[in-house]
Amino acid sequence: MFNLDETVRALDATREQVAALFQSINAPHVAIPGRRAGPAQAFIACLRSTQGFTVGIYLWLSESRDCAVYLTGRVAQTPEDYRALQTDALAFVESMGFMMDNLNYRALPSERQTEVLTSVPMYRGRSVSPPISPGERPQLSPVARLARLFSSF
């Protein structure tokens, strides 16, 4: 269902595209293929787009200052599909020993949403590039947007 994508390091997602955000409340020792084992923190980002909802998993390996991004090709079109995709992501990270907390992102005022996004490793140190006019901007799939978000750290 969720597969490690070695090529994905970033995703452009606006504050408004984030439908839900989960963060681990613990940092279990995990071994990820191709990376040094160590304590990690997990984040699950649920993003909305015109095609539906996508869910991605971002693992932050604090000792090596590295990340691992797990993606799925599934796009949820209905609320039931979205809940199932979110449940699958939670089960995936919980199987690695993470205990997750729903940050209730959508219920926060917009200023607090921005604070939350800047406090998680997925957004820390994000480079700011000059604005691109809508005619120049390539259309990315929801999975590609999620990938860009996660790899921007």
The pLDDT tens digits for 88-115 are 999 999 999 999 999 999 999 999 998 8
pLDDT of residue 134: 42
Residue 5 has pLDDT above 70, yes or no: yes
pTM: 0.79
Q: Which residues contact residue 140 at a Cβ distance below 8 angstroms, ignoring those fewer than 6 apart? A: 12, 148
pLDDT of residue 14: 82
Using pLDDT thresholds of 50, 70 and 90, give the confidence band for residue 65: confident
Tokens coding 27: 């940092």
The span from the CA of 138 to the CA of 132, in Å, is: 10
Among positive and negative, which fits the CA dihedral 79, 84, 87, 89?
negative
Domain of residue 35 covers: 3-123
Question: In the chain, how many domains are there?
Answer: 1
Residue 32 has pLDDT above 80, yes or no: yes
Residue 117 maps to a domain: yes
Residue 144 maps to a domain: no
Which H or E element spans position 147?
A: helix 142-150
pLDDT of residue 133: 36
Residue 140 maps to a domain: no
Give me the torsion for CA of 95, 76, 60, 1, rounded to 10°: 40
Residue 85 maps to a domain: yes
